[in-house]
Structure formats: C-alpha cells, structure tokens
Amino acid sequence: MQSVWKYIDDLIGKGLEWTVIVELAFYSIPTLVPLALPLALLLSSLMTFGKLGENYELTALKSSGISLYKIMQPLFVTVSIIAIAAFFFSNHVIPYSNMKFKTLLYDIMNKKLSLNMREGVFFNDIEGYSIKVNHKNEDGKTLEDLLIYDHSEKMGNTKVIKAKSGEMYTSTNDRYLYLELFDGFSYEEVEPKNPKKRINLPFARSSFKEQKIRFDMASFQLERSDEERYSNAAQFMNLRQLNTNSDSLQTTISKRLEVYNQKLLSYYNFNKKDSLSKDTIVYFSEDFKQLTKYKRDRLLKATANLVRSSKSYTYNTQRELKYKNKKLKKTHVEWHRKFSLAFACIVLFLIGAPLGAIIRKGGMGIPVLVSIIFFLIYHISSITGEKSAMQGVLDISQGMWLSSFILTPLGLFFCYKAANDSTLINTNYASVLFGKIKQLWKAKKF
C-alpha cells in the first residue's frame, strides 16, 4: 500500500473500480521482494541461532563434536535454494510485474476525473462543451437552470443552450452520457459561406420543450494500453532480453560515432599543432590576403556557417550518445541486479546465523535491532553503489556489488568468531590499544 500511496493523487476522483486498485497493489507486491527477502533471511537466521544459543542447544551440539559449520550446512543448502529461486523470481516475475504496474499506472494517470458537476461552476471536462448547473438535486440526476456552451464544431462560442431543468443519465455500457433538457432556448450564430459577409453574423434563436444531447464518454473510461509499447525499458526485461538490448545499444553507439567521425573528416582535415610549419601558416595567410574583399567576405561567411552547422551537429550527437549511454548503463544495472539479490540472501544468512550464535538471544528483541542495523548497511550501500554507477563515479560492476563487498568479509569474520567460540570484540585487546593511543596522543601533545 505504501507503493500505491505515492500515486494517490492520480487515483482519487477518477471513479476507478475497486478491482483496478487491487490489481495495481497486487502488481506492486513483487517489487518489494528485493527488500523483504534479504531482511527476512537475516532476521530468521538471527532468531533461530539466537534461540539455539539461548537454550544451550548449540553448546550441546558442539560438545558432541559437531562444528558450527556442520550445524549451518543444511540451512545453508536451504538458503542457497531460496537464492536460486530469488534469481528466477527477479529474472521473470519482477520484470513482468513492473511492466504491468507501470502500464496500468500510466493508463490511470491519463484517465480523466469522473463526471462530477458542481453547482454554479462550469464543467469543462467533456470535450467541446462547457456546462453550468445552478442547482443539483439530491438524486444527482435532476438538474435545474442549465447553461451549455457548445464548442464541438471548433468555431468558438457560436451556440448556447439554456434550459430550466434537465435530467442526466448514462447508457448501459457507460459509453455515452445523455442530458435531457426541458423548457429552454438555443441561440446560434449562423456562419455565412462567403468570408466577406462574416462581419455581421446572422443570429438564430429557437425554443424547445424537450431536447436530448448525447456526449461521448470514451475519454472518461480506463483504456488499457498495448504493453508492447513499454517493453523496451530495462526494468521490464529478463536476462536474455537485457543481453540482446545491450549488444544492440553498443552497436548503435559505435555506428553513430563512426558516422559522426566520417562527416566531420569530410569537412575538416585535423592535424596536430606541431605538424603545421610556420611557412605553411604564412603561405595560407598570404594567399587569403590576395583575395578580393568580396571573396574574403564570402569565404568567411561560408566558414562561419560551416562551423555553426558542425557545432549544432556535434551538440545533437552528444545529446543522442548521452541518452544511449544512459540506457546502456540502466541495462547493465538491471543485469547485475538479477544476481545481486540472490547473492545478498546468502551473505545476510552468513551474517545472521553466526551473530545469533554469538549474541545467544532469540525472540523479537535484540535480533530485530541487530538485523535492522545490518539491513540498513546493506540497503544504503546498495542505493549508494547504484547511484554512483549511474553517475559514472564507479564502474557498474563495482557499484552494483558494493554492498556485497562490504558485507561478505563481515559475514566470514562472524563465522570465524562463532566457530571458535570467541567474543565479538576482545575487551582486553581493545583496552590495551586504547591505552597506547592515549599515550601517543599525550606524547605528541607535549
């Protein structure tokens, strides 16, 4: 619901059925798995091994000759199976749900607000008409004192309808809105065929006892877009499609650079500054001075036009290549994301299981606090690495695997500490180290 709540302004007031809202929320659920699954494995492994340590069951197992690695082995196999399932989930289910969610959200955002005429306010959401109702009965259908401006012929305010009362209802399929008017007048300016006679327009006035107007409500209905239009986004692709898209983008960029270089070389001859001798420069300068003023002006004007054209062409090429490279980076980011989720499940298990054995506390107390701390480290480092990779600060592979680079050594360190029944931090060593630092600080101060 938090994902849907971000778009609440686009959902309210559009008369959407509850099934559409449920469908939108359902498609947003798989996108939360990359956040929920690693946290769930971290917390569950912490609680499990913390409870085993709290009840001295780990001590009993170790005293019988079973090492911590042997105890963790069946759970490690289980987590590996979950990691493989997470890879297939991120490769197939998440791209499909992303495409469904974004497509449905786009259709909802482009849907007009539901028909809601307010008293004394012009209603302009029906294309070609502006309707004002001075009084609306409680049933929501009976209207009084109506004023309608008809712009459907794209000729301006040439037709006005005024009625004492009216009744509003829709067709059975909600495609059309019918407005039945009673006791009214219509005023219309008749356009003459001769354009010269349009200064003084003839005026037509007619009265009616009953008149029915039909409005097309197609723009108020939710129309589903073709999903193929959005299938070229990287977040909607699986691994095979990402590889194909990456090759295609790299080929396009290479061809574009080749065409750009060929076009520039056809106009200019690029030489190093040192390769031009002083005599050559003097020769061209003297040759230019021998031209007439008219020819010099034409030559300078043609040169300026050529430079401006080349500058514009370079600018447009640069923008195009920047856009293509950004798409290529997104493709590589999504490619690495398929594997990073699976590996994160294993890494966070390697952190949670030994930490639970060291802390020896089960339940929802300390394990929850510890798991939140390490999950925040994982989440913040993942976001930082991805943003740095997109901005070119880090390589794509380095940015997408930054959280793994940080947490994997921690997990191995915790496994080593838990297997050897050693404390997480040696207080004696810490106090000795702190004392040495204090002595160095005093010696440096004096």
d(CA 65, CA 69): 11
Q: What tokens appear for 252 in the block?
A: 């396009």
d(CA 74, CA 207): 88
CA distances from 54 to 59, 71, 360 (A): 10, 16, 5
Cα(339)–Cα(62) distance, rounded to whole angstroms? 34
This prediction has a pTM of: 0.62
- C-alpha span between 212 and 171 (Å, rounded): 13
Q: How far apart are CA 290 and CA 286, in angstroms?
A: 6
For 393, residues 6+ apart whose C-beta sits below 8 A from its C-beta are: 399
Residue 427 pLDDT: 45
State both tokens at 395.
Answer: 């390589």
What are the pLDDT digits (tens) for 95-128?
888 888 887 777 776 554 445 567 777 877 677 7
What's the pLDDT score for residue 242?
Answer: 87
**Sign of the alpha-carbon dihedral angle for 7, 10, 13, 17:** negative
Helical packing angle, 402-419 and 68-88, nearest 10°: 160
pLDDT at 80: 92
DSSP reduced 3-state for 49: helix
Q: Which strand (E) or helix (H) includes residue 184?
A: strand 176-189
Residue whose structure tokens are 């749900």 = 97
Per-domain boundaries in the chain: 29-105+232-432, 122-220
Dihedral sign (CA 63, 69, 70, 76): positive
Q: What integer pLDDT is reported at residue 78 of this predicted model?
A: 92
Name residues of the chain where pLDDT drops below 70. Answer: 1-16, 109-117, 125, 140, 154-157, 172-175, 190-203, 216-232, 267-289, 422-436, 438, 441-446
Please, how many CA atoms are within 13 Å of residue 67, restricted to the half-sphere of its CB? 8
Number of DSSP helices (H) and strands (E) in the chain, helices first: 14, 6
pLDDT for residue 218 = 58
| pLDDT tens string 401-414 | 898 888 889 888 88
Q: Using an 8 Å Cβ cutoff, are 120 and 139 in contact?
A: no
Give the integer Cα–Cα distance in Å for 148 and 130: 6
**Do the beta carbons of residue 401 and residue 412 sit within 8 Å?**
no
CA distances from 11 to 37, 230, 430 (A): 29, 21, 57
Task: Give backbone dihedrals phi and psi of 144, rounded to 5 degrees, phi first.
Answer: -135, 145
Residue 113 has a pLDDT of 46
- Going by C-alpha positions, the residue among 379, 406, 388 that lies closest to residue 333 is 388
- The label of the residue with tokens 């929320």 reads 25
